[in-house]
């Protein structure tokens, strides 16, 4: 892996970390703005999965679909098969606009946070050589 590829992966990780910080700020000491938290959970998961795919030399398709990205990652490493993203993709970009917006419960928010952090954990274990 050359320096440019490594730097690109690190950019994805840095952006994912910014989403993580936002999640942590909005969730403690109480959950505020649940759809915003879930949006950042979706974004964090998406960026980590894309960093993983880039690390493995895969071309990144412009998508916010966590199920699709997980299936792509699972094709490389079966550890991704056990992650159930639930409806995390539903909190992608479209949730940022008014309309038919679903407001998740506190329990759901915490579950989406857990999913995003689980994805982070798996990806960072594998990408240790890059970071």
pLDDT computed for residue 125 by the predictor: 95
Write down the residue that tokens 């094709």 correspond to.
Answer: 75
Residue 95 has pLDDT above 70, yes or no: no
pLDDT computed for residue 91 by the predictor: 92
pLDDT computed for residue 108 by the predictor: 97
Q: Tokens standing for 91?
A: 């909190």
Q: What is the mean pLDDT of the chain?
A: 93
Residue 94 has pLDDT above 70, yes or no: no
Cα gap 125→131, rounded to integer Å: 10
Closest CA to 51 of 85, 14, 104: 14
Condensed to tens digits (0 to 9), the pLDDT of residues 50-71 reads: 999 999 999 998 999 999 999 9
Q: Which domains does the chain have, with CATH numbers?
A: 3-129 (1.20.120.330)
Residue 101 has pLDDT above 90, yes or no: no
Closest CA to 50 of 41, 59, 39: 59
Residue 82 has pLDDT above 80, yes or no: yes
pTM as predicted: 0.94
Condensed to tens digits (0 to 9), the pLDDT of residues 9-31 reads: 999 999 999 999 999 999 988 99
Angle between helices 34-55 and 3-27 (to 10 degrees): 160
Rounding to the nearest 10 degrees, give the CA dihedral for residues 39, 62, 77, 21: -30
pLDDT computed for residue 131 by the predictor: 74
């Amino acid at each position: 892996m050359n320096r440019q590829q490594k730097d690109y992966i690190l950019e994805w990780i840095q952006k994912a970390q910014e989403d993580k910080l936002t999640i942590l700020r909005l969730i403690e000491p109480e959950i505020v703005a649940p759809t915003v938290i879930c949006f950042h959970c979706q974004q964090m998961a998406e960026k980590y999965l894309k960093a993983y795919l880039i690390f493995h030399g895969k071309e990144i398709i412009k998508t916010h679909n966590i199920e699709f990205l997980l299936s792509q990652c699972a094709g490389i490493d079966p550890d991704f098969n056990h992650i159930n993203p639930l409806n995390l993709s539903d909190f992608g970009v479209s949730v940022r606009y008014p309309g038919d917006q679903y407001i998740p419960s506190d329990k759901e928010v915490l579950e989406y946070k857990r999913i995003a952090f689980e994805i982070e954990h798996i990806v960072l274990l594998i990408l240790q050589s890059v970071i």
